[in-house]
Structure 1
Amino acid sequence: MQNTSQTSYNLIVVGAGAAGMIAAITAARLGKRVVLLEKLKHIGAKLKATGGGRCNLTNTLSNEDFMQRFGRDGRFMTPALNALDHKALISFFAQIGVKSHAPDGYRVFPISHSALTIITALEEEMKRLGITVVCSERVESLVSDGESVSGVSTATTTYSAPNVIIATGGLGYPQLGAEGDGFTLASQAGHTITDLYPAMMPLKTKEVWGEGCRADTIPKVEIKIDLPKAKNIRAKGDLIFTSTGIRGPVVLDIAREINPYLSKHGGVPILINMTKGMNEDQLLNHIKNEIHKHPEQSILTHIQTLLPESVGRALCILADADPQSGFNKLSGAVRDRLIKLLAWTPLTVIGHDGFKMAMITRGGVSLKEISPDTMESKILRGLYFCGEVMNLDGPCGGYNLQWSFSSGYLAGHLGNKATI
């Protein structure tokens, strides 16, 4: 990393994650003198952990579909995605020597499937552009006259610049340095910080029967929140039971929606369909067809055509059905109860392990106080935001990393028209 005695620049970027690095590169390519300040000893710590170290850069959805997955505030992203969508991001990395692909036609990874490839390429591009990178340098405060920003102060140095980009991330991955520094800086400037919740994380449930089902991954599961004001909140993906609850991609996605309700209600009822979307009528017909083909087999054997044995057995027990009995030998009430459980299995989420297990943060700097066209603060001139520090988060699958790169790219233009 380059260090220099010069403290006056055109731009100061706070935070050397995905958003901060691309913001610095973009500004430097436009001829700006840039310093990138990172409080950790190394750049890209959180980026290194992304996608289990494989670095799911983005996905192949259209911009419209991409924004919809972020919810009602997704359209805030329109200018940033117009400036740098997934195709442009793939091209950007190709230009700095990183080829990528989408093995499943959806998620995009570097061909190396290593985040180190991405970090190394970004680092080399910053060196090529002459960007000053200072690690182990924590920014403690903004310097401003109340109308315009003029720099930042650390414990030992004041760096001067008419533009500052806050790209510090949120509170997720605290073991990788996340402490909410950006929220403190934004508050100093007069910005509103919305309520903050951990997101993308395993969840704990009141029910303990899932502990016996830990050996199996259940694909194509749908989870929905069973609260009147949240009936339309759903997620789909693979599910894994744990000793204390549930995890897996579908849980990571729904957790960002559940946790705000959890803080209000103390427990959040959810319903899980583990039978590939079948409703009660379809399930009953499926089992009847299995009985017709194999009349001598037990109900558990029939259920195993849909679910792992451990899960099928647990649901039978919940329904007071003898797993080894024939379906037609069960009472009508037990059959109905079993079919209902197969269609929608109820669980109650009662907790989580907090930000220490959260990949991202739900909440952040209020979007109402940021211009979507430039990422500039509406409160303090010359102050910009990008990435997770803002109140905008998406599901897993390359969404949040694409948003970091897109918003960082747009912020790096410092109010000028962004072109790819």
Structure 2
Amino acid sequence: MKNSEKKYDLIVIGSGAAGMMAAITAARKGKKVLLLEKLSKIGAKLKATGGGRCNLTNTLDNETFMSRFGRDGKFMMPALEAFDHKALMAFFKEIGVESHAPDGYRVFPVTHSSSTIINAMEKEMQRLGVEVRCSQKVTGLSHDDGQVTGVETETDSFAADHVIVATGGKGYPVLGAEGDGYQLAESVGHKVTEVYPAMMPLKTKEKWVANCTADTIAKVIITVDMKKYKKLKAQGDLIFTKSGIRGPVVLDFSREITPLLSKYEEVPVLMNLTKGMNEEQIRSHIKKELGKNPHRNTLEIVSTLLPGSVSRELCKLAEADPNTALGKLKGQIRDRLIKLLVATPLTINGHDGFKMAMITRGGVSLKEIDPYTMQSRKVEGLYFCGEVMNLDGPCGGYNLQWSFASGYTAGNPKEDL
């Protein structure tokens, strides 16, 4: 050990949502807690969450909530039963932060500011006597005969029989996420799955998207157009960018796309830009519009379904003259245009990597963690919580709720703590 060390009941590595919740939970039970953060301030990534508005959780019931995480979602059940969205809102109210769900679904602090959350949690840690040390990068876990005994940092050693790894993933490395927790986990024999950047914009091969950047298109459905992956789909608002696509539907879908891009150079997708309308419904809509004025041109009719810029590009793709009356288009061209309105093809061919990723897909294997305690099945006294584990969800408060719930579970003192 580097210095004469102080002994703690619990050391928490990382000051994100999961780490701070774990520290508070343990300290409330009278435990002596040390929180180590490698950056100069706590809560850096939490501060940036949801564009700084901090979508804390959502109002879904636990079953529906877990289903949005895919087949591993059931792992969360014990943590959510102990600390669901109602418990989270009650916790924040208790420490002086009112929250609400203005749309009945997504829950925010009423200030719509992540600083409110960080300040309240920091104040609560101070009240409870949690010792917080910033600019302390943990470089190793100390352990003896299958029992954790403390941590090593670049300058110090700290002793504890219980250590929680709450270091997050690799998204937003400027905010301290560099995958430190994966290395710590592997150093004591844990398996870490392959990790991918997720919740981020995507780039496309097609250049026409750059002409459509002014508008948000609501309720777009995106599906992967590859035989083996046709079941992969997402729905939500979409925004075209100069080099591709973004918006809530893309942030959600990127967690499915980035692993595919590591296997294939390109991933073809189909987008329904018309709120899920099928060919028959579109034909019916066109007929109705032409009934109002049979002389309207193709662009005007398509623009009753989509913004003008997108309508113009789809006309080009269908080789339909936008200025010709739609009723006078050749049947073949009209059919092609209708098919494009139902399923617009795009080719995803890239992304900006972890620097633009809000979350990480992959992490410490769930098989090696007890879902009732978040304790390692390999090393006694070692716990994991939050994004460092192999569990990620879509946009809408899912990942923060999971961080808080897993942090609460990991920080709840066990009989011997």
Q: Which residue of 1 aligns with 2:350?
A: 351
Does 2:119 match 1:142? no
How far off is 1:31 after superposition?
1.3
Q: CA deviation at 1:7?
A: 2.1
Question: Could you say what secondary structure the match of 1:72 adopts?
Answer: helix
Structure 1 runs not aligned, ≥5 long = none
Shift of the alpha carbon at 1:111? 0.3
Q: Which amino acid aligns with 2:213?
A: R
Q: Distance in 2 between matches of 1:245 and 1:405?
A: 33
SS in 2 for 1:156: coil
Aligned to 2:397: 398
The superposition leaves residues 239-296 of structure 1 with CA deviations (integer Å, 9 ceiling, x where unpaired) of: 1111110011110000001111111011111111110110111111111110111111
Where does residue 378 of structure 2 map in the other structure?
A: 379
In the other structure, the counterpart of 1:16 is: 15
Distance 1:85 1:241, change over 3 A: same
Name the counterpart of 2:128: 129
Q: Distance in 2 between matches of 1:416 and 1:324?
A: 76
Match status 1:289 vs 2:288: yes
* Aligned residue type for 1:47: L
Q: Does 1:339 align with 2:341?
A: no
Aligned residue number for residue 230 of structure 2: 231
Deviation, 1:416, is 5.3
- The question of 1:181 aligning with 2:164 is answered no
C-alpha contact 2:5 2:159 (8 A) present in aligned 1 = no
CA distance in 1, matches of 2:357, 2:186: 23
Is the 1:275–1:306 contact (alpha carbons within 8 Å) kept by the matching residues of 2?
Answer: yes
Partner AA of 1:350 in structure 2: N
Per-residue deviation at 1:146? 4.0
> What is the deviation of 1:224?
1.1
Partner residue of 1:151?
A: 150
Q: Which residue in 2 is equivalent to 1:44?
A: 43
Q: Unpaired segments of 5 or more residues in structure 2?
A: none
Partner of 1:54: 53
CA–CA distance in 1 between the matches of 2:145 and 2:258? 36
- 1:297-333 C-alpha deviation (Å, 9 max, x unpaired): 1111111111000000100000000011112211111
For the pair 1:327 / 2:337, whether they are aligned, the reply is: no
Contact 1:175 1:356 in 2 (8 A): yes
**In structure 2, what is the equivalent of residue 256 of structure 1?**
255
For 1:191, the aligned partner's letter is H
Residue 83, structure 1, aligned to residue 87, structure 2: no
- 8 Å CA contact 1:275, 1:307 repeated in 2: yes
Partner-residue secondary structure (3-state), 1:112: coil
Secondary structure at the residue paired with 2:112? coil
Residues 23-42 of structure 1 aligned to structure 2 (within 5 Å) = 23-42=22-41
Residues 376 and 415, structure 1, Cα contact 8 Å, conserved in 2: no
Residues 361-410 of structure 1 show CA distances to partners (whole Å, capped at 9, x for unaligned) of: 00000001101111000010100000000000000110000000000000
Q: Which residue is equivalent to 1:275?
A: 274
Q: What one-letter code is carried by the residue in structure 2 that aligns with 1:338? A: L
Paired amino acid for 2:121: L
Deviates more, 1:228-237 or 1:80-89: 228-237
- Rounded to whole Å, the distance in 1 between the matches of 2:182 and 2:208 is 40
The 2-side partners of 1:114 and 1:37 are apart by: 24
> What is the deviation of 1:415?
3.7
Aligned residues: 414
SS at match of 2:71: coil
CA distance in 2, matches of 1:357, 1:24: 29
* 1:220 Cα offset (Å): 1.1
Contact 2:294 2:327 survives alignment (8 Å) = no
2:357 aligned partner, one-letter code: A
For residues 52 and 390 of structure 1, the distance between their equivalents in structure 2, rounded to whole angstroms, comes to 23
Distance 2:102 2:5 in 1: 45
1:309 is aligned to 2:327: no
- The residue identity in structure 2 corresponding to 1:72 is R
Runs of 4+ in 1 over 4 A off after TM superposition: none
Note the aligned Cα RMSD (angstroms): 1.3
Are the counterparts in 2 of residues 164 and 382 from structure 1 also a CA contact under 8 Å? Answer: yes
Q: Deviation of residue 228 (structure 1)?
A: 2.0
Partner residue of 2:101? Answer: 102
Asked if the contact 2:29–2:413 (Cα under 8 Å) also holds between the matched residues in 1, the reply is: no
What SS class does the counterpart of residue 393 from structure 2 fall into?
coil
Kindly provide the amino acid, as one letter, of the partner of residue 106 in structure 1. Y
In the TM superposition, 1:210-249 aligns within 5 A as 210-249=209-248
Counterpart code for 2:319: D
TM-score, normalisation: structure 2: 0.98
